[in-house]
A and B are shown apart, each in its own frame.
Chain A
Amino acid sequence: MLVIGVLAGLATAAVAYFIPWLPDQGAKEAVQIDNVYWVATIICIVIFGIVAGVTIYSVFKFRARPDDEEDGAPIHGHTGLEIFWTAVPTALVTAISVYSGVVLVGNEKVQKNHGVVEVTAQQFAWSFTYPDEGITTGELVVPIGRQVELKMTSKDVIHSFWVPEWRLKQDVVPGVTTRLLVTPNKLGTYDVICTELCGLGHAAMRARARVVEPAEYAKWVQDVKAARAQGGTAQGKELFTSAGCGGCHTLADAGTSGQVGPSLDQALKGKDAAFVRQSIVDPNAVIAQGYQPNVMPQDFGSTLSKAQIDGLVEYLLKATGGGG
């Protein structure tokens, strides 16, 4: 019996060990969370090993022939055993509770000098405001190694912010400011995924999170500001990526490959400025064949300044070879 229990446990452990269950760790908090995960996994493997072992053993050992009219042994219970399998699980789950609580409290300790980013979600786009820098972009850029506090709210329905590599998730709720504390510790570009059903475009509601060296972060802030100041196509190109357009639309010039909305290389080919502008501020006016209305946010006309929209239109015309 023990042998089968151990074998079942080992088989499960092998599955647990050799399959990469969790994505890369991209934040200090992720390391702690993964430790809880593996502690829970060890406990669960032992328990499942026992259950599967006893079941398999019983199935073979105590099987009756169809014509067997005998009954089993009239065992009604065993107080010692019953106390044992009440007490041990109680101790185990209490241990998991305590450990989880300690990790949670540790992960949510606010560091001095932490950065702040204000996150705004709407159907179906993210935007990120950096109050210290005075800029707003469509991608989240944070310097490595510094704790950042995301202060999040929604303009319409409930969304949820998740970066799998950070292991952290927090709903973004209208009328409420929710918080998420993260200390990214690995350079790279990650997906920001909306995980709370928010309507038609839910599956497509993505943004990018970039973790960069502090020097690169400072340069990025300068570049964004410079592009804004410069106006025209430079600002337009910067906006195209930062406002999240590329998350849904393919545009060769900007190097984006989103599939949710129509490819702008085709949809805007040969169109004039008025059409491009209308498509940004009133996206339901003309819907490309094969696509649905109400997926693209309809308030770019109010969230972007007139100069920004001008820049975007100018850039899109240039990038798609249109004119007029």
Chain B
Amino acid sequence: MMAIEAYEHHGAGAAGHHAPPRRPTGLRRFTAAGWLRVAWVTPLSFGLATAIVEGARAGLGTPTSWHNQNTFQTLLVAWYVMVPLGFLIALGAFDYWFYWISGRPTRPEDHSSHGARSWKDYFRVNTDHKVIGIQYVCTTFFFAMISGLLALFMRAELARPGMQFVDNNQFNGFFSVHASVMIFLFIVPVFAGLGNFVIPLMIGAPDMAFPRLNALSFWLLPIGGLIMLSSYLIPGGAFSAGWTNYVPLAVVQPDGNLAFQMGVQWAGASSIVTALNFLVTIITMRAPGMTFWRMPLLVWANFATSTLVVLATPFIAGSQFFIMFDRVLHTNFFNPGNGGYAIGYQHIFWFYSHPAVYIMILPGFGIISEVIAVHARKPIFGYRLMALSLMGILILGFSVWAHHMFVSGMQPWLRIPMMATTLLIAVPTGIKVFSWLATLWEGRIHFRTPMLWAVGFISMFVLGGLSGIYLGSVPIDQHASDTYYIVAHIHYVLFGGSVFTIFAGIYHWFPKMTGRMYNERLGKLHFWTTLIAFNVTFFPMHWLGLQGMPRRVSDYAPRFADWNMVISIASFALGASTLIFLYNMIVSWRSGEPAPSNPWRALTIEWLVSSPPPVFNFDEIPQVVGSPYEYGVKGARHAVMGGERADVQEPHKVGSH
């Protein structure tokens, strides 16, 4: 509601309402929401957590021994719960609700926390979806760089057989933290960031449905990431049971494993809250005239993704709580010695983590549909089937989890039905690929950087999808499972797939987000260096795996030495290619050419407003009058602004029933 009211205010031209709030002065600065309050409340909540645990222990007559793993864990859990809560409260994420609960006057109308006037506004609780989108993208790339660096450490160790730089504990920590941070802190949330910026604009809404919840969901995210990285400070080293954290290994590991369990809770909460926000926004806040069949495919994709997140993410939260209980409270959910069932963990884990694969690729499918239609100047081929295949993947996605467990020792009968559904999911995916190709056909293709990434994505993702067919077949999976073939497969779908779409999306909307153009030559250089280095890094891994190199090993047979050296060198080139991207983004954001409102001559609504868009997005409500992809149709419009509404006839009845 608040967003709607804000919208009308803005429409009335009440610019004075959006002046920066008065800054508190004197001691008040320490009690007002912000970093000064964080500076004293966070240590206080650390002390409070310690006092509660130690007080309870003293009361029970079992004070904490700092060297005893069993008792130190309790403190860690208390810290990982209370310190982030204290931080969020101090930063002001809950101020509005606290005011409301306690009956003090809330400040719904001054929009003091909306929009960004200086860089400082990106470092506070900000309710503007455009600011939050950029906060998400920058934060997730920060974590991606750290975890990419961990991957390079791994490749340095693996360049030659034998042990050179690190020991097994450090090595196992590298791949565990690398995968966890890439998945939970980069790929899943970066799509939430791009969606946050683009979706409200695309559907003609002034903001997300719940702006304060949106701000909270962003600030939950870095907490999850910092907790995971904090495991490096815990005695025994970082968590090192892989991102899958299989039991019983996860239960017998040093305390750093708790950082994974608790980090996942915060990052998962962030995902769930954002997904709910997307669902409500997409269902209730579309501009007049935007029927479901007139929604751009990115909106469809975020709708499907958000449904997956809401339904699946609680399962991983549960699975990690169970491990935490097994460790800290000595329950026996998974302890085979006391009636627990170790494989049960894998069922719960994959019931989230397989849908998570689609959470990490469906928004990318949406981005690719937008980019290809705009830069090939063609309507999306088979729009309705494209939307329906997203929903098909959503439904099938819940029926395939056990294909990660073909050799796990689970109930044998489950393998053949899961193989059938797994292979069937290739059908909706294939529909999307063939429809993109048909969209290119007879187009007028402009090979700007986003389009290069989109076209590169198709081939790379198809390679990843095809290696998935092999893994979906039980007999082949018996050989290829848990080998470097898997490492190749997941990097083709997550890097060649998801990350390529992320780059496509960032280049495509960069002018809209920053108001400046990126450097096209550097963009192209970034694409070609990444494409080549990516393939040299990951393609030989198929061969290594089939030949007998297992995954997650710090050492390997000498006969694999040559290819591992090639892979390591290419992986460093891949890392270097990312520096080109960072340089381009930073320099272009500071001093790129000013961007026009619609540099790609696109039809969707976000391109009808200025770059960057005004704080409340639209001065007047857009009216949707047709399909979003009517390229080549004379006089066709997707949306018009209020004033010109009367002049436009609906040119193409795509959504007429």
How does the 8 Å CB contact mask read for A161-176 relative to B, with 1 for contact and 0 for none?
0101001111111111
Interface residues in A43-71 (C-beta closer than 8 Å to B): 43-44, 47-48, 51-52, 54-55, 58-59, 62-64, 66, 68-71
When chains A and B are docked, how far (Å) is the Cα of A191 from the Cα of B556?
12
Within 8 A of B (CB), among A294-324: 295
Most central of B242, B336, B601 by chain A CB within 10 Å = B336
* In the assembled complex, B379 has its CB within 8 A of some CB on chain A: yes
**Contact present for A162 and B378 (CB under 8 Å):** no
Whether a CB of chain B sits under 8 angstroms from the CB of A32 is yes
Is B379 in contact with A168, judged by CB distance below 8 angstroms?
A: no
A175 touches B427 (CB 8 A): no
**Does A195 lie within 8 Å of B481, measured CB to CB?**
yes
Taking a contact as CB atoms under 8 Å apart, the answer to whether A58 and B423 are in contact is no
| Cβ–Cβ < 8 Å partners of B246 in chain A | 157-158, 196-197
B458 interface neighbour in A40, A51, A107, A191, Cβ under 8 Å: A51
Task: Please give, as numbers and ranges, the residues of chain A lying within 8 Å of B376 by CB-CB distance.
Answer: 62, 72
Question: In residues 135-178 of chain A, which contact B (Cβ within 8 Å)?
Answer: 156-158, 160, 162, 164, 167-176, 178
Q: A259–B469 Cα gap in the complex (Å)? A: 37
A211 to chain B, nearest CB (A): 16
Bound together, the chains give a CA A104 to CA B172 distance in angstroms of 33
- A70, A169, A292: the one contacting B478 at CB < 8 Å is A169
On chain B, the number of residues with a Cβ less than 8 Å from chain A's Cβ atoms is: 90
Cβ of A93 < 8 Å from any Cβ of B? yes
Residues of B within 8 A of A47 (CB): 430, 462, 466
Chain A residues lying within 8 Å of B554, measured Cβ to Cβ, are 203
Judge if A22 is at the interface, Cβ distance under 8 Å: yes
Chain B residues lying within 8 Å of A173, measured Cβ to Cβ, are 336, 342-343, 408-409
Asked whether any CB of chain A lies closer than 8 Å to the CB of B288, the reply is no
Are B455 and A77 interface neighbours, CB within 8 A? no
Asked if A203 and B555 sit within 8 Å, CB to CB, the answer is yes
Q: Is B474's beta carbon under 8 Å from chain A?
A: yes
Residue-wise interface mask of B (545-565) relative to A, using a CB-CB cutoff of 8 A (1 in contact, 0 not):
011101111111100000000
Are A74 and B379 closer than 8 Å at their CB atoms?
yes
A48 vs B459: C-alpha distance when bound (angstroms): 8
Interface size class of A (residues with CB under 8 A): 35 or more
- Our pick among B247, B379, B385, B431 for the contact of A75 (Cβ within 8 Å) is B379
Q: Are A74 and B633 in contact (CB under 8 A)?
A: yes
Among the 9-residue stretches B25-33, B95-103, B444-452, B527-535, the one with 4 or more Cβ atoms under 8 Å from chain A is: B444-452
Check A200 for interface membership: any CB of B closer than 8 A. Answer: yes
B482 pairs with A176, CB closer than 8 A: no
CA distance A171 to B247 in the complex (A): 13
Known: A74-B633, A89-B426. A59 touches B445 (CB 8 A): yes
Select the stretch in B202-210, B260-268, B435-443, B582-590 that faces chain A: B435-443
Q: Are B409's CB and A169's CB within 8 A?
A: no
Tell yes or no: B399 within 8 A of A by CB: no
CB pair B466–A44 under 8 Å, yes or no, is: yes
B442 contacts A21, CB within 8 Å?
no
A278 to B554, CA, bound (A): 28
Assuming the contacts A74-B378, A104-B475, A173-B342, asked whether A64 and B446 have C-beta atoms less than 8 A apart, the reply is yes
**Residue B470 at the A interface, CB < 8 A?**
yes
Q: Does A246 contact B (CB under 8 A)?
A: no
Q: Give the docked Cα–Cα distance between A301 and B381 (Å).
A: 70
Question: B252 touching A96 by the CB < 8 A rule?
Answer: no
Q: In the complex, are the beta carbons of A72 and B478 less than 8 A apart?
A: no
Contact bitstring A16-31, B, C-beta under 8 A = 1, else 0: 0001011100000000
Interchain CB contact under 8 A, B337 and A175: yes
User: Given A44-B469, A164-B548, A178-B409, does the pair A62, B444 have CB atoms closer than 8 Å?
Assistant: yes
B60 to chain A, nearest CB (A): 31
CA distance A90 to B431 in the complex (A): 11
Which residues of A are found within 8 Å of B416, using beta-carbon distances?
A: 97, 101, 104
**Interface pair A33/B342, CB less than 8 Å apart:** no
- Beyond the given A54-B437, A62-B376, A66-B446, please list 9 additional residue pairs across the A-B interface where CB-CB is below 8 A: A58-B445, A85-B434, A89-B426, A96-B423, A97-B420, A100-B474, A199-B249, A200-B168, A203-B556
- What are the 5 tightest A-B residue pairs by CB atom distance, in nearest-first order? A175-B336, A74-B632, A203-B553, A71-B632, A164-B548
Contact sample, A vs B, 14 pairs, CB 8 Å cutoff: A21-B542, A62-B444, A72-B378, A74-B632, A77-B381, A77-B383, A104-B474, A104-B475, A158-B247, A162-B483, A195-B551, A197-B242, A197-B249, A200-B168
